[in-house]
Each structure stands twice: as structure tokens, then as C-alpha cells.
């Protein structure tokens, strides 16, 4: 077979490129997203055989099926590091069955207790190995600085993924005062020699705009490269190296359910995913394309229901849509960037159509897909949006019925699955440990309305103390160590900066100088 190369969703890449190049580039020239030319398929036997392997080897098998241009032994070694003792369960992402036909795929056993770890423990290793290989091939001669603007979860998962990775440093900006106590401490106590964290004056939007402006500043890029030998990069969810690891857990979960006697070999399994940027659910789609017998893909939204409306009407419209705050902030989104890859696939890879719709979205804040594509959307997906009060009620209801404590994102998916499901058993993607969102779990358990203040004595607790209180009240004492220990770790990062382009650039340069000075000291 010829090598599996990468093109892009808008058809603007001049020459198809390799996996390693796609990982290092991130975004394609012209703004499209990279996709592999060829999606491999597995036979049912290949698929079921995965259940006999540890998770790291399941992942390695999938990447080799995609024919990525890293040596097989490199892939094996990287996956052993990626999915090992850094997870608190040797199954990596175990499936808990609430009933014979309702299964929960727990994607939060990684170091930061959110599903972003499934991809962000992997991407940095691909990134570093890819950059090394390109350097050896003479195609690259610099190092990288990853710059991330975060509303909370992604920043921590990226820090933990890139910490002490060769040839890469990482700086994360979060809105000062705009993240929870747990999220703040997770970032401010971050370990590692190549990491930096800044609070930014302003809200998340200011933070993100600041980062975008820095990425768009060519003079700054030239200066970084010429004076420091460093190029800026982002770790966002449009990178193919971040998407591919997510395919693995759907393949793996299906094989595991069959091996555990919970599902007949070849039987259809529907999947329900709490969706924001559309990365997680797109990975389920690719797993289905690879031959996993998945049925309908249920796209669960919170009150930010742009995706639900799109799947139900064929029109994606953000022209008159307000951004709503919800108990599931990682799904609070208007522009779902990975939807572009999904539409590319559902149109039979019609790059021209995609380029047109993305242009409509930019200029008119909406686009409408053609009838054929809409029929494909309807055949593949169903969607429901769950309001804030129902989300919190669901946490309490599932605890009462199944003695299982869910985070608000998972609760949105659970309720959407109940509303949408038919005959098939359902796999629910659980994307965070409840203790990452203790304030809203407390509201759920005490009948406090979404957004209403907590009682003064509860509001005075640290995030860790609040989690301990919930653990005592519910008997769910399984708080991951990485969250439980936060009050005892030293705060390493306290710097707060302004959100102007020059302020962020100055902070980034300071960070680089410190790093490079330390490196020469050694
Ligand atoms: C990022 C995130 C999501 C949304 O996933 P997408 O891949 O962006 O659709 C859902 N839940 C949690 C907890 C997340 O961190």
C-alpha cells in the first residue's frame, strides 16, 4: 500500500503531506483541517482480538492501521509511556455498566481527571517524535513553544501532556479570577521544567483574542525564530494527532464489551457523546467507518444548542445566538471546529462545498448544507439539548437509581441518551470526574438552582474541602489523588499579565529567556 498521506478539508494543500508533518503543522495552509487520504478498516475478528491486549497496544495497533510514518517500535514505546502508570486504572478507560444496556465509558482516569488526557497524553509524544524525525530528515531546524488560552480544563491537560517533553515548552493563559479554585490550583501547582502559567486580566474571550493576536503577529514569529530558534504552535483539538487517539477508545470499548459478555459480537451499539468542539463524537464516527458496529451517534448539547439545531435542521446558525453559561462549561461553544471534518466526510470529501460553507460561516455567521448532506447527517446522528436544571436533576436521579455519581457533562449525555435511545444498547462517553465540578455537583445534590449561590459556609470551602464534603455525604470517596492533594502542593505560578498582544509577547519572551538561561547553566 502507498503511504497514507494527509490532505485538507478545503482542498488548499498544494502537496499531500505525511502524518508527522500534519502533527507539527496543526492547521493546514488556507485554514482547512488535515485528514488522512485513507481510513483503514478492521474485520470483526481484528477488532475483537484487541480485547486481549493492554490498552497501550490497542492504541499502537490502530495507529499502525493508519500507517503513520513513525517506526513501529517508536509507536510501541510512545504508547507504553502514554497509557501507563499516569492513569489511575490499568484498563485506562474502563466501562462501567449501569444496566445491561447502558454502559458508561470513563474517559477521566488520566492525570488531570478529564477526558482531554486521552488525547493530550498522546499528542505531545507524537509531536516531539514527529519534530525529531523531521529534524533528522533535514526538514526542520527549530524547537517549539506551545501557547494555550484556556477556560480551565484544556490548559491543565496540555500542561500535563507537554511537561518535560523534549524540544517543546508550553505557556498557558487563563482568565484571572475566571476559573474554579480546583482549576486554578491544578494549573498554578503544575510540575515540570518547561512550563509557565499566566493569569490574564479579563475574561476568557480576552485571553483567547490575545493568544490569536500573538499567533497572527509575523514580526514576533520571525523574532522568536531568529533570536531563539523557536516556532509557536497550539495544541488545539483540530490537530489530527489529537483526534486519532480518541478513535482508539471507541474501538477498544466495543471489543471490551464483547469480551466481557455484555454485547454480542457484531451487535450494534449506539454512542452518546457530550459535545463541544465535535472532536470526541467525530472520533466515534471514524471508529464506525473503521468497521466498529456502532449504530446511531447521539450528539448531546447543553443550553448552547447550536449543534442540536444543526442536526435537526441542516442550518448552522450563530448569527443571533447568545453564549449561555451552563454547569457543563467545556461544552459551552458556538463554533464547533471539528464539524468541518465531519461534513467533509459526509459530503463524500467535497472540499469545494466545505470551503463554501466555511466562508458563509465567516461572512454571514451561518451556513446551510445541501439536501443530500443533510440526509447523511440525519442517518448518522440524532441530537438533543439538555437545559441546566435538567442536567443537575439528572446527577441526583442517576445517584438515586444507580448509586453512580456523574459530572455535569456526563449527565447531559446521560439524559440525552435516555431521550433519544431506541432498541440498541448505549455507550455514554463520560468526560470528567465529578470532583472537577464539585460546586455544581453540590447544587445538584442539594436542590440548589443552576447559577444560584452556594450557602455561605459551603462557598467558604476550598475546592478540595467541598469535594471531601460531597464524598462524605454520598459515600463516593474515590477522589483522584491529583485533585485530592491540590491544597497541599506549593503554588508555583502567580504572575498576572495584561491581555494586550505586546504584554503576552513580553511574557512569552521572558519565559523563553529563563528557559534558555537555565539550559546553558546545566
Ligand atoms: C472538551 C470537553 C468536552 C467536549 O468535547 P469535544 O471533543 O470538544 O466535543 C466535553 N466534556 C468535557 C469534560 C470536556 O473537557
Range of the domain at 389: 95-105+241-484
DSSP per-residue letters across 152-204 = SHHHHHHHHHHTT-TTEEEEEEEETT-S-HHHHHHHHT---SSEEEEEESS-H
Residue 116 annotated as catalytic: yes
Structure pTM? 0.96
CATH number for the domain that contains residue 320: 3.40.50.1100
SS3 206: helix
Identify whether 354 is part of a domain: yes
pLDDT at 522 over 70: no
Identify whether 393 is part of a domain: yes
Of 312, 265, 271, the C-alpha closest to 288 is 271
pLDDT at 2 over 90: no
pLDDT at residue 205, rounded to an integer: 81
Identify whether 232 is part of a domain: no
pLDDT at residue 349, rounded to an integer: 97
pLDDT at 254 over 90: yes
Residues whose beta carbon lies within 6 Å of some atom of ligand 1: 114-116, 153, 237, 274-280, 330-331, 409, 431-432
Using one digit for the tens of pLDDT, what is the confidence trace for 425-437?
Answer: 999 999 999 999 9
CA-proximal residue: ligand 1, atom 8 (nearest): 277
Question: For the purposes of burial, counting CB atoms within 10 Å of the CB of 265, is it exposed (0-12), middle (13-18) or buried (19 or more)?
Answer: middle
> Active site residue: 116, 156, 185, 288, which one?
116
- For residue 516, name the pLDDT band (cuts at 50, 70, 90): confident
Identify whether 228 is part of a domain: no
For the chain, percent of residues with pLDDT exceeding 90: 88
CB atoms within 10 A of CB 520: 6
Average pLDDT over residues 223-230: 94
Using one digit for the tens of pLDDT, what is the confidence trace for 83-118?
Answer: 999 999 999 999 999 999 999 999 999 999 999 999
**DSSP conformation class of 320:** T
- For residue 451, name the pLDDT band (cuts at 50, 70, 90): very high
- For residue 521, name the pLDDT band (cuts at 50, 70, 90): low
Identify whether 15 is part of a domain: no
Identify whether 257 is part of a domain: yes
Identify whether 205 is part of a domain: no
Identify whether 56 is part of a domain: no
CA-proximal residue: ligand 1, atom 15 (nearest): 330
Q: How many domains does the chain have?
A: 1
The rounded Å distance from CA 303 to ligand 1 centre is 15
CA dihedral 245, 335, 173, 25 (to 10 degrees): 50
Amino acid at each position: 500500500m502507498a503511504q497514507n498521506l494527509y490532505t485538507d478539508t478545503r482542498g488548499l494543500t498544494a502537496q499531500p503531506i505525511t502524518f508527522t508533518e500534519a502533527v507539527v503543522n496543526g492547521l493546514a495552509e488556507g485554514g482547512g483541517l488535515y485528514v488522512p487520504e485513507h481510513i483503514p478498516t478492521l474485520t470483526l475478528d481484528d477488532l475483537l482480538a484487541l480485547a486481549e491486549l493492554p490498552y497501550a497496544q490497542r492504541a499502537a495497533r490502530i495507529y499502525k492501521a493508519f500507517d503513520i510514518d513513525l517506526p513501529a517500535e517508536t509507536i510501541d514505546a510512545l504508547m507504553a509511556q502514554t497509557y501507563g502508570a499516569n492513569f489511575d486504572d490499568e484498563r485506562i478507560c474502563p466501562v462501567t455498566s449501569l444496566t445491561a444496556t447502558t454502559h458508561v465509558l470513563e474517559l477521566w482516569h488520566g492525570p488531570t481527571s478529564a477526558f482531554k488526557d486521552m488525547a493530550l497524553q498522546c499528542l505531545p509524544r507524537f509531536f516531539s517524535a514527529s519534530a525529531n524525525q523531521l529534524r533528522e530528515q533535514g526538514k526542520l531546524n527549530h524547537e517549539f513553544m506551545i501557547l494555550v488560552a484556556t477556560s480551565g480544563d484544556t490548559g491543565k491537560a496540555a500542561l500535563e501532556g507537554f511537561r518535560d517533553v523534549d524540544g517543546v515548552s508550553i505557556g498557558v493563559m487563563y482568565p484571572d479570577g475566571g476559573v474554579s479554585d480546583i482549576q486554578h490550583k491544578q494549573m498554578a501547582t503544575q510540575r515540570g521544567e518547561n512550563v509557565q502559567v499566566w493569569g490574564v486580566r479579563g475574561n476568557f474571550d480576552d485571553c483567547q483574542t490575545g493568544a490569536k493576536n500573538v499567533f497572527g503577529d509575523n514580526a514576533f514569529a520571525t523574532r522568536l525564530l531568529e533570536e531563539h530558534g523557536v516556532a509557536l504552535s497550539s495544541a488545539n483539538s483540530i490537530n489530527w494527532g489529537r483526534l486519532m487517539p480518541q478513535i482508539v477508545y471507541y474501538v477498544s470499548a466495543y471489543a471490551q464489551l464483547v469480551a466481557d459478555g455484555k454485547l454480542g459480537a457484531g451487535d450494534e451499539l449506539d454512542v452518546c457523546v457530550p459535545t463541544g468542539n465535535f472532536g470526541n463524537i467525530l472520533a466515534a464516527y471514524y471508529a464506525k467507518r473503521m468497521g466498529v458496529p456502532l449504530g446511531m451517534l447521539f450528539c448531546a448539547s447543553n443550553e448552547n444548542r447550536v449543534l442540536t439545531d444543526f442536526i435537526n435542521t441542516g442550518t448552522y446558525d450563530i448569527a443571533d445566538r447568545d453564549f449561555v453559561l451552563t454547569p457543563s462549561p467545556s461544552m459551552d461553544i458556538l463554533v464547533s471546529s471539528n464539524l468541518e471534518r465531519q461534513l467533509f466526510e459526509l459530503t463524500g470529501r467535497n472540499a469545494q462545498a466545505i470551503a463554501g460553507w466555511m466562508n458563509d460561516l465567516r461572512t454571514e455567521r451561518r451556513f446551510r448544507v445541501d439536501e443530500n448532506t443533510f440526509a447523511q447527517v440525519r442517518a448518522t446522528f440524532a441530537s438533543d439539548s439538555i437545559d441546566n436544571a435538567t442536567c443537575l436533576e439528572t446527577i441526583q436521579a442517576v445517584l438515586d437509581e444507580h448509586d453512580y455519581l456523574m459530572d455535569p457533562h456526563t449527565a447531559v449525555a446521560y439524559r440525552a441518551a435516555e431521550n433519544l435511545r431506541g432498541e440498541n444498547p448505549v455507550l455514554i462517553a463520560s468526560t470528567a470526574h465529578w470532583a472537577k465540578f464539585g460546586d455544581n455537583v453540590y447544587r445538584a445534590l442539594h436542590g440548589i438552582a443552576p447559577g444560584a449561590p452556594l450557602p455561605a459556609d459551603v462557598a467558604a470551602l476550598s475546592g478540595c474541602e467541598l469535594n471531601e464534603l460531597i464524598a462524605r455525604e454520598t459515600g463516593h470517596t474515590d477522589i483522584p489523588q491529583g485533585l485530592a492533594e491540590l491544597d497541599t502542593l506549593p503554588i508555583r505560578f502567580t504572575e498576572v499579565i495584561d491581555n494586550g498582544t505586546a504584554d503576552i509577547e513580553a511574557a512569552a519572551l521572558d519565559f523563553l529567556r529563563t528557559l534558555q538561561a537555565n539550559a546553558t547553566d546545566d
